[in-house]
Amino acid sequence: MADLESVLNLTLLALLAGSVFSDLTRRLIPNFVCLGIFLLGLVHAVLLSSGEWIYSLVGCGVVLLGGLGLHQKKVLGGGDIKLISALSVWLLPIELTRFVLSIMVAGGLVGAAYLAVGFVRRLRDKQAPAAAGVPYALAIVGGFLALRPEVLTSTVL
C-alpha cells in the first residue's frame, strides 16, 4: 500500500502545482484540477484509511457550504472555494480548523510578498499599477502542505 500512497501523493502534487501555476498566470483554478484532487482524495480515503472516509466527505460538504457563503460575500473566489473543499477530503474534520488557520497564515505571507513586490515596482516606476489581487491558490496549497508534509516526502519505489 505504500506504493499506492506514493503514487496518489505524487499525482496530488502534480495537480496542486497545476492549480498554483494556473492561478498565478491566469487567475483561474480549473474545475478539472479541483475535481481530480477531490476524486484522488476519495480514493486515498477509501483505500488507505480505516472507514473514516465518510467523515472526510461530510467535512468537505461543510467546507463547501461555508465557502459558498464567503463567495457570495466576495471574500474568496469560486476556484479558491472549490480547491479548499477538494483538499478537505484529504483531511479529517477535526483537522479542518487547523487547515483554515494554516491557509490564513500562508495567505498573510503571500499577501505581504505581493505588497512588497508592488512597493518595489512603485519605487522604480511611479505609474506602475499596484497588485490588483492575490492569487490565493498558493496560500491554499501552502496551508495544506503545512498540515500534510508527508505528501512532499513520499516517493515511488
Q: Which of 104, 106, 64 minimizes the C-alpha distance to 81?
A: 64
- Where does 27-95 have alpha helices with state H? 31-48, 53-72, 78-88
pLDDT at 116 over 70: yes
Contact predicate 57/102, CB 8 Å: no
Average pLDDT over residues 144-149: 94
- Tens of pLDDT, residue by residue over 76-100, are 889 999 999 999 999 988 899 999 9
